[in-house]
């Protein structure tokens, strides 16, 4: 396959200044990924700071309820409460190796911004985060959290003042100040080599699943299930299993208020091929190729595209992508809370909901792993409001 291409997807659609930065990044990454000292240091960060390996938990009551064995890969137990830390620690370490003193990132809901600010604090780097003004209003707690961690948050007022505009601004800022700045991308998206770098830093999820299922069950799982925004937790889960044709790779996309509405974020189910943010992939766009507004109850899933390697895995039929609505995800959020005492992120709840929808396809001998990409504490208030149990501001409706 050509450099940075997954079938016809991926590539490097970038200005000349950015091409310089991307080439510098790729050269640094190639030597780092073959340097045992770099790998050892990265693994030490994961162990000592992120708290890895994460548990592969046998969900017994859920297994009994569904009729087959369900294991939960507990990325929610990582430091900062999600899988994003795996990637930002790797990229921050790469920044240090390249002599860059400053991290920049874009963020939508604030989760990737918080993770990047955390890694910057851990390694003593400065950090600037670009965030749409509209998102800053909606996620003021995360803005303060980033500031607490020592980052500066810059309001982006262009366009719709949301994630895609923040991403464009972060790319512009990178091309203005390549010399001391490292751009930390939060998912398996963007121009080459980012989709590959992020996948490599997230594959620890799948590697741990593989080793542990072989160890404990002396076999590979029947299926892996994960939610997809840009696709990093799913890619990290799937990647070590791509050659194992007997393992089903199943992903949930955010169908928001439904695929028959225009309020969703399901790129593969409802999108088409395009070029945006430096890559060729599948995007939600209008007839003129303008990126469409996206919606999901889950702020972490409302990106208008998907990583190029997912677009390819979908095209060749190796991985399967299904839409899951807000309603289905909220039901699953409550279900996992009650049946296992684990409150999943609303993003991860999409994966739980999908397995419940597909349960008839599995039987007693099956072993299915769901990646719980993050914890749900951040979502409790919003779900309480969705159910009419809480008013905005967090007080109960009941006297
Ligand atoms: C950001 C986020 C996602 C979506 O990102 P991917 O790159 O698709 O993994 C999913 N779950 C949680 C908890 C997140 O914070």
Candidate list 269, 281, 296, 373, residue with the active-site label: 373
Per the annotation, the verdict on 84 as an active-site residue is yes
Query: pLDDT (tens digit, 9 = 90+) per residue, 375-393?
Result: 999 999 999 999 999 987 6
Q: How far apart are CA 86 and CA 206, in angstroms?
A: 12
Give residue 303's pLDDT: 87
Give residue 1's pLDDT: 60
Q: How far apart are CA 226 and CA 248, in angstroms?
A: 11
Query: pLDDT (tens digit, 9 = 90+) per residue, 216-236?
Result: 999 999 999 999 999 999 999
**Which of 233, 302, 370 has most ligand 1 atoms within 8 Å of its beta carbon, as the pocket-test mutant?**
233
Candidate list 84, 100, 280, 378, residue with the active-site label: 84
SS3 content of the chain, % helix, strand, coil (to 5): 50, 20, 30
Predicted model pTM: 0.96
Q: Atom 1 of ligand 1 has which residue's CA nearest to it?
A: 300
Widest distance between CA atoms in the chain? 63
| Structure tokens that stand for 308 in this block | 């190029």
**Which of 78, 205, 232, 307 has most ligand 1 atoms within 8 Å of its beta carbon, as the pocket-test mutant?**
232
Ligand 1 atom having least distance to the Cα of 345? 13
Give residue 393's pLDDT: 61
Per the annotation, the verdict on 373 as an active-site residue is yes
Q: Atom 2 of ligand 1 has which residue's CA nearest to it?
A: 300
Q: How many CB atoms within 10 Å of residue 122? A: 18
At residue 223, the 3 state secondary structure works out as strand
Residues in the chain predicted with pLDDT less than 50, given as ranges, are 394-399
Backbone angles phi, psi at 323, to 5 degrees: -80, 145
Strand order in the sheet with 56-58: 56-58, 69-74, 367-372, 223-228, 248-256, 319-325
Q: How far apart are CA 370 and CA 128, in angstroms?
A: 34
Give residue 259's pLDDT: 92
């Amino acid at each position: 396959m050509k450099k940075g291409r997954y079938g016809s997807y991926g590539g490097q659609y970038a200005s000349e200044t950015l091409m310089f930065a991307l080439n510098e990044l790729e050269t640094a990454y190639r030597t780092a990924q073959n340097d045992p000292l770099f790998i050892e240091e990265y693994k030490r960060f994961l162990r000592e700071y992120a708290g890895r390996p994460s548990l592969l938990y046998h969900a017994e009551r859920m297994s009994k309820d569904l009729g087959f064995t369900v294991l939960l890969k507990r990325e929610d137990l990582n430091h900062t409460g999600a899988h994003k830390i795996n990637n930002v620690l790797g990229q921050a370490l790469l920044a240090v190796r390249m002599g860059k003193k400053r991290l920049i990132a874009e963020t939508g809901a604030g989760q990737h911004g918080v993770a990047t600010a955390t890694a910057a604090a851990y390694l003593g780097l400065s950090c600037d985060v670009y965030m749409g003004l509209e998102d800053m209003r909606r996620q003021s707690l995360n803005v303060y959290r980033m500031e607490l961690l020592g980052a500066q948050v810059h309001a982006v007022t262009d366009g719709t003042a949301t994630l895609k505009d923040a991403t464009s601004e972060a790319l512009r800022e990178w091309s203005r100040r390549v010399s001391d700045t490292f751009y930390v991308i939060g998912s398996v998206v963007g121009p080459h080599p980012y989709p590959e770098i992020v996948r490599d830093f997230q594959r620890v999820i799948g590697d741990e699943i593989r080793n542990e299922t072989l160890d404990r069950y002396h076999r590979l799982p029947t299926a892996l299930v994960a939610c997809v925004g840009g696709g990093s937790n799913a890619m990290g889960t799937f990647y070590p299993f791509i050659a194992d044709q007997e393992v089903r790779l199943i992903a949930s996309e955010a169908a928001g208020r439904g695929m028959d509405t225009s309020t969703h974020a399901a790129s593969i189910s409802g999108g088409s091929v395009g070029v945006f943010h430096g890559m060729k992939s599948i995007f939600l766009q209008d007839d003129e190729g303008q990126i469409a507004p996206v919606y999901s109850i889950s702020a972490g899933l409302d990106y208008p595209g998907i990583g190029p390697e997912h677009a390819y895995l979908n095209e060749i039929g190796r991985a399967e992508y299904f839409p899951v609505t807000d309603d289905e995800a909220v039901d699953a959020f409550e279900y996992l809370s009650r049946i296992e005492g684990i409150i999943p992120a609303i993003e991860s709840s999409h994966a739980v909901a999908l397995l419940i929808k597909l349960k008839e396809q599995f039987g007693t001998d099956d072993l299915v792993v769901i990646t719980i990409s993050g914890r749900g504490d951040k979502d409790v208030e919003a779900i309480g409001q969705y159910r009419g149990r809480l008013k905005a501001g967090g007080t109960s409706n009941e006297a």
